[in-house]
Chain A
Amino acid sequence: MFWRESDPWGAWEPFRDYERLQAAMNQILSETRRTAPVTREYPLINIWSGEEHATICAEIPGVDPKDIDISIAADTVTIRGVRTETPRKETEKYLRRERGTGEFARTIQLPFQVAAEKVDASFRRGILYLSVPRAEADKPRKIIVKTATH
């Protein structure tokens, strides 16, 4: 933090200490906000993209692939599912619980129209791989300029 040097002439400034305190408080508050936990999206995704394809990868460990529902509309892909909790008997108790459970949904908008019929989904080692090709109608068209021959 950058502090103003105190007045070399010793002018009386009764509010200087107060201002200094306020500046320090503001800094503490702004730092708290920066590190405060944000609402976590689930699942987390990575997107790989090429010229006519994109691959959406999502880490969803412990979910039965049959319970993952994928829907496509124009340029958006929605992944839905449930992470179910293993039923526990009364004699079983949690000593540590960090894995989340419950329903999740994630909608991803892509920068192109998706050929919905060609989307391929696979689930390996707890990771969902969604291969989404670009729709034929959405691909850039090359226009050849004809030279007029008179």
Chain B
Amino acid sequence: MARPGSKPLAGAPGPAADISASFWSASILLAFVFGFVGLLSFARQLLAVQIVSGLSIYVSVMVGLTLAIWTLSWIYMRRLRRLEQDGRGRGDA
């Protein structure tokens, strides 16, 4: 993957700053998935703990993960808007 500021990659449309944002966002998302599977595999006892009656850490983690996925997308969109304002984004075709 190219670093911000480097030349656009051949075949990869858009400046490298954009590509870097794409790469990091996708990596963080996959880290969420792997982390969740890790918790499911090695921390079942912890996930089974109830924070309050009826609400387990497991349910909270899954709801939190769902909201975190949206938040990550929002951060990515904001990052791309800023890149476009700086003239380093992909912009309209």
> Do A and B belong to a common assembly?
no
**Chain A interface residues toward B at CB < 8 A:** none
**Chain B interface residues toward A at CB < 8 A:** none
